[in-house]
Structure 1
């Protein structure tokens, strides 16, 4: 239910609702269920009469709770007994009946006594008389009223009695706990009710009933002991009254306190605010107050490095380097021995990374073979060590990013980091297959070297042909002029020797340049692959982790607003 009221209670309820939605699946289920119950209860209570104040009388068997209830109301409405529970269901005394019906229906109170005027014996100048006069006076100021509830004993042997008490302890606006001198330190009362409701001390009253059974000198000591126990329960500032339903001692001060609460007409809001604060603190019970480290550049860089290694990118980079060297040898090596390089398979083609090599490329109606959505590499399957490396890198990244958050939220950050575990290997493969590795692309100077190599080879072949013609003519006894020479060396011989020597030397001199170019090509390939993997990591791992950390920050802000820390 959206909370649209912009008052303090509406804002805190809205903040609690936001925290509940953000904490789903990330905080303990019992805390979420409790917060949802508070929201539901608050929604129902706010739709009912906010002008009525509901005061519940709670107590153990024999505490005189019903007798005290009768004394406060001034009428014998509740049946009282000293040793056994006599209140089987809630009983209501109502001042200001208008609008109380739906509220009592929600409280599931069927026994209702509509009263008019102050209790018998009330101080004519007291707050209760003024309240009663206002409620009887009619008009705009008469809106609202007061409802006192006498409830079953919380320690009754009847299970349904305890269920009623537990339910109404979460619904009434003001809680009046009635204890007696014999059982005021009862562990069940303090452990099961007072301690859990300590946050509601602003709407809690405690009455030490039956003080007529104590010697006058002992009353102060018992009150001091009771206050000490209440302080241990977190209720140090709660008003404590000494009263006796038999003698009437302390009844008027108790009436005055109850009437003052009803006059202010804020008890329902105060109670709901306490409920919201309690639920918010339960939601943040595991929150140590730390702020997660978040996603840092160094942490992200280490993740990308690890994924790059685990993806097999190093194998691809080595293949790029080897492919360049192989192609460089084919294009710049001595033409006579180039067939040796052509006999070796290109490592990029072996990995399925040579673009344009697909046999269907020639068919116009076939899909583009370079489309990464349909193209797969032939990289070896990820080894267990590579999978463990990737898993460890993701886990380490999530742990460092969530450091400082509670364990439940750190677990949710880890789940966010691994939210694409099933598709990540294929996506890494697609990043590699779609990367522009410039497979098969050469360098501009290869063409120059290639032309020079072929000129050298042609010179050597021409020289060999010339020498062959001269040899054949001499063998057939033809008269041929001698071959021209340079410095005494025949030109055909110079062409053969120079062509062969130049080609071999050129191949030897360009080999280091090819190796240097291969290293540069491999470096660029690694940079491109790492860039693609970095983009994938940001989309599939970093972004979900960042979103989860932002969610935790919004959750903490909502908790702070709901609990009143700001």
Structure 2
């Protein structure tokens, strides 16, 4: 299936889009070239589409004006004081109706209307005699340069002495190499050559034009003095005018020329996933994951001891500051853990580490981009690096820290209280036997111990067994939960690091990856618009 060629209007719209997409990245000169073509094409299309504008360009002494007069059939500048040297554009206009606004846009004030038609079927035509493009007057060169970018057809006029001048080719012909479809090349003053040498020099000139990048440009030898080749040149101009495609061909050539630096390029592939993983590892370290994990594990052990430790000693742990609060954290306990809401500000070393991580990812994101877009990635990364410590703090504030023992440990708390109650019963038993024997005797009789206030089991007083058993059982439960708390602490450290890493991965994706990806996406969209403008 053949791909439909985009319309000229669509290509110009794409060029305008490319200029807008590249405005933040392109140099002023590059952006000016894009907008100049877009604006000039839009203005030209809004003006007379019937008239074909042909400009005669040449170096000083090439006989350009004489050749122009010979093609027109009259010396239009004979009565003007500023002639014979051309200091301002002169227009010869056939079928002038509707040409005023077009000539105003071209800034051509000297206009000479011509009777009849330039040639049969040529239609409305404007020939421009322009100042020398190598004039010593800068204003003259500026006029020639400006109109070289506006006319529909360019006629390069040179002579046997200057046709190989490198300055002419490098500064004037080569920049318009894409316009070969609307370019005519003239070797004027051919009468100065022997008849046998004319085709040789013309072929040499044609070879130089091909080296400049102009394709299929025929060189027409002429002589304004003898009239040699003038009719052939008039015929070539007439054929271009009869086709009525010069305006479109010129704009298409401008589009091809202005998009050439980027039209063959392709957007780089996505950033290597390893770069993101490496950045996240660095940011996790910079955020103090190890310190936070250790503090969370210590807080877990402290709280577990407070809840399940030996009741006679566990209260002492409440006097020690909480490891998380000691780090300057505010916390909100919930059934999952502790929700961290603040951390001390990153120190200089941590900031430097975080910056290094962002710059490393930025280097991977900039790989394959042109200098302008790569610089934009670098600049944006520097701004991100300055804001990142605050974002890391917010990431940590969203991290749920598993510092709160689960409710299952409540069973150990119940056992500790039962053990303490048993020990207290033993103590109270001895006190009652010593201080209130009369009150204790009826109870003992009821229990079947007779008048024995302190019964024994296997030679051991029951109160003593209650006291010793309660204390020892509570101590053993505290030791066992302490051992489990130490073992679980290692898992708490791992869970804390993993939780913080997940939050930092999300933060880096939002605040580092997405902003830098926008630059890469801008470049891809810019290339897409350039490709459309180039007609590809």
User: TM-score, normalized by length of structure 2?
Assistant: 0.89
Equivalence for 2:286: 310
Mapped contact 2:54–2:152 kept (Cα < 8 A): yes
Q: CA deviation at 1:314?
A: 3.1
Q: Does 1:461 align with 2:432?
A: no
Q: Deviations over 1:146-181 (max 9, x none)?
A: 111111112222222112111111111111011111
1:328-367 matches, cutoff 5 A: 328-356=304-332
Structure 1 stretch 416-425 or stretch 256-265: which is displaced more? 416-425
Count of paired positions: 515
Contact between 1:353 and 1:433, CA under 8 Å: does it hold in 2?
no
- 2:497 counterpart of 1:526: yes
2:43 and 2:406 map into 1 onto residues whose CA distance is: 78
Asked whether 1:182 is paired with 2:161, we answer yes
**Are 2:164 and 2:208, in contact at CA under 8 Å, matched by a contact in 1?**
yes
Equivalent residue for 1:391, pick from 355, 377, 391? 355
The aligned counterpart of 1:248 is 227
Deviations 1:479-519 (A, max 9, x none): x7363222222222222322222222222222222223334
1:278 maps to: 257
Aligned partners of 1:539 and 1:435: how far apart in 2? 16
Compared CA separation, residues 408 and 80, structure 1 to 2 (3 A): farther
- Note closer, same or farther for the CA distance 1:297–1:457 as it changes in structure 2 (3 Å cut): same
Alpha-carbon shift at residue 219 of structure 1 (Å):
1.6
- 1:448 maps to 2:414: no
8 Å contact kept, 1:292–1:401? no
Cα distance, 1:382 vs structure 2: 1.3
Aligned equivalents of 1:8 and 1:315: distance in 2? Answer: 63
Alpha carbons of 1:422 and 1:85: their partners in 2 closer, same or farther (altered >3 Å)? farther
Q: How does 1:164-243 map to 2 (within 5 A)?
A: 164-243=143-222
For 2:6 and 2:517, the matched residues in 1 are separated by: 33
5+ residue gaps, structure 1, are: 1-5, 119-127, 136-144, 358-369
* In structure 2, distance between residues paired with 1:235 and 1:89: 28
Aligned in 2, Cα 1:296/1:395: closer, same or farther, shift over 3 Å? same
Output aligned runs, 1:433-512, within 5 Å. 433-437=397-401, 439=403, 441-467=404-430, 481=452, 483-512=454-483
Deviation track 1:278-299 (CA, whole Å, cap 9, x = no partner) reads 22224x3xx8834323245543
For residue 298 of structure 2, the aligned residue among 305, 322, 325 is 322
Contact 1:311 1:429 in 2 (8 A): yes
Paired residue for 2:447?
A: none
Q: CA deviation at 1:521?
A: 3.8
Tell me the SS of whatever aligns to 1:176.
strand
Q: Which residue pairs with 1:411 in the alignment?
A: 375
Whether contact under 8 Å (1:54, 1:174) holds in the other structure is yes
Distance 1:146 1:554 in 2: 40
Gaps of 5+ in 2: 442-450
Whole-angstrom CA distance in 2 between matches of 1:432 and 1:245: 85
Shift of 1:448: 1.1
**Counterpart position of 2:136:** 157
Instruction: State the shift of 1:266 in Å.
Output: 1.1
Helix, strand or coil at the partner of 1:130: coil
Q: What residue in structure 1 maps to residue 116 of structure 2?
A: 117
The 1:172/1:178 distance shift into structure 2, 3 A limit, reads same
Equivalent-residue separation in structure 2 for 1:233 and 1:281 (angstroms):
15
Q: Distance in 1 between matches of 2:59 and 2:295?
A: 84
Q: Tell me which residue corresponds to 1:18.
A: 17
Secondary structure of 2:175 counterpart: coil
In the alignment, what sits opposite 2:247?
268
Give the TM-score normalised by structure 1.
0.84
CA shift in 2, pair 1:316/1:294, >3 Å: same
Q: Partners of 1:562 and 1:53 in 2: how far apart?
A: 23
Q: Distance in 1 between matches of 2:10 and 2:206?
A: 34
Alpha-carbon shift at residue 99 of structure 1 (Å): 0.8
Q: State the alpha-carbon separation in 1 of the partners of residues 282 and 69 from structure 2.
A: 77
- Name the SS for the 1:244 alignment partner: coil
For residue 119 of structure 2, give the secondary structure of its aligned residue in structure 1.
helix
Could you say what the CA RMSD is over the residues aligned between the two structures, in angstroms?
2.8
Cα distance in 1 between the residues matched to 2:402 and 2:495 = 10
User: In structure 2, do the counterparts of structure 1 residues 50 and 559 end up closer, same or farther at CA, with 3 Å as the change threshold?
Assistant: same
Confirm or deny that 1:76 pairs with 2:82: no
Deviations 1:346-405 (A, max 9, x none): 112223545359xxxxxxxxxxxx9x9xx962x333122211221121122222233222
Find the counterpart in structure 2 of residue 138 from structure 1.
none
Q: Which residue of structure 1 aligns with residue 120 of structure 2?
A: 130
Rounded to whole Å, the distance in 2 between the matches of 1:339 and 1:109 is 99
Contact between 1:402 and 1:413, CA under 8 Å: does it hold in 2?
A: yes
Shift of the alpha carbon at 1:437?
Answer: 2.7
Give the 3-state SS of the residue equivalent to 1:196 in structure 2: helix
The alpha carbon displacement at 1:249 in A equals 1.5
Matched residue SS, 1:217:
coil
| Structure 1 position 109, deviation (Å) | 1.4
In structure 2, C-alpha distance between the alignment counterparts of 1:193 and 1:32, rounded to whole Å: 21
Partner SS for 2:196 = helix
Corresponding residue SS for 2:401: coil
Post-superposition Cα deviations, 1:201-256, rounded to whole Å, max 9, x if no partner, equal 11111100111111122222212221222122112421111111122221111111
Q: Secondary structure at the match of 1:451?
A: helix
Q: Which residue in the other structure is 2:88 paired with?
A: 89
